[in-house]
Structure 1
Amino acid sequence: MQGEFNGLKELILNSNPSAYYVHCFAHRLQLTLVAVTKKHNEVGDVFNIISSIINIVGASCKRMEVIREKQYARIIEGLEHEALQRKDQDIENSMSLLKTSKEQFKMMRENDWESLLEEVQLTELDDHFTETSTELLLCVACLNPSDSFSAFNKEKLLHLALFYPSKFSIVDLMVLGDQLDTYIIDLCGDDEFSGIEGIASLVEKMVKTKKNLIFPLVYMLIKLSLLLPVATATVERVFSTMHIVKSRLRNRMGDKWINDSLVVYIEKDIFDKIDNEAIMKQFQNMKTRREQL
Structure 2
Amino acid sequence: MVIQEFDVRFSDESCELLICMEALSPCDSFKKFDASKLLRLIEMYPDDFSTADRMTEYQLGNYIRNVKKDERFANLNNIADLIKVMVETRNHLSHPLVYRLLKLALVLPVTPATIQRDFSAIKLMKTNLRNQIGDDLLNACLICAIEKQALANHCYKC
Q: Same fold (TM over 0.5)?
A: yes
Amino acid across the alignment from 1:139: C
In the TM superposition, what are the counterparts of 1:64-83 in structure 2 within 5 Å? none
In the TM superposition, what are the counterparts of 1:75-224 in structure 2 within 5 Å? 121=4, 125=7, 129-175=10-56, 177-224=57-104
Pick from 107, 129, 132 the counterpart of residue 227 of structure 1.
107
Q: Are residues 1:261 and 2:148 paired? A: yes
Amino acid across the alignment from 1:131: D
> Does the aligned pair in 2 maintain the 1:145–1:196 contact within 8 Å?
yes
> Does the aligned pair in 1 maintain the 2:121–2:142 contact within 8 Å?
no
Offset of 1:169 from its aligned partner?
Answer: 2.9
> Does the aligned pair in 2 maintain the 1:203–1:219 contact within 8 Å?
yes
Offset of 1:247 from its aligned partner?
Answer: 9.3
Unaligned 5+ segments in structure 1 are 1-32, 34-116, 266-278, 287-293
> Does the aligned pair in 1 maintain the 2:21–2:41 contact within 8 Å?
yes
The CA RMSD measured in Å over matched residues stands at 3.3
The TM-score, its normalising length taken from structure 2, stands at 0.74
Matched residues in 1 for 2:14 and 2:59: separation? Answer: 25
Matched residues in 1 for 2:62 and 2:97: separation? Answer: 12
Q: What are the Cα deviations for residues 8-53 of structure 1, in whole angstroms up to 9, with x where unaligned?
A: xxxxxxxxxxxxxxxxxxxxxxxxx5xxxxxxxxxxxxxxxxxxxx
- CA separation of 1:146/1:128 partners in 2, compared to 1, >3 Å: closer, same or farther? closer
Unaligned 5+ segments in structure 2 are 131-136
Offset of 1:131 from its aligned partner?
Answer: 1.7
- CA separation of 1:237/1:264 partners in 2, compared to 1, >3 Å: closer, same or farther? farther
Q: What are the Cα deviations for residues 204-253 of structure 1, in whole angstroms up to 9, with x where unaligned?
A: 22222221111111111122222221111222234345667x598xx776
> Does the aligned pair in 1 maintain the 2:73–2:85 contact within 8 Å?
yes
Matched residues in 2 for 1:217 and 1:192: separation? Answer: 20
The TM-score, its normalising length taken from structure 1, stands at 0.43
Identity %: 35
Matched residues in 2 for 1:129 and 1:258: separation? Answer: 28
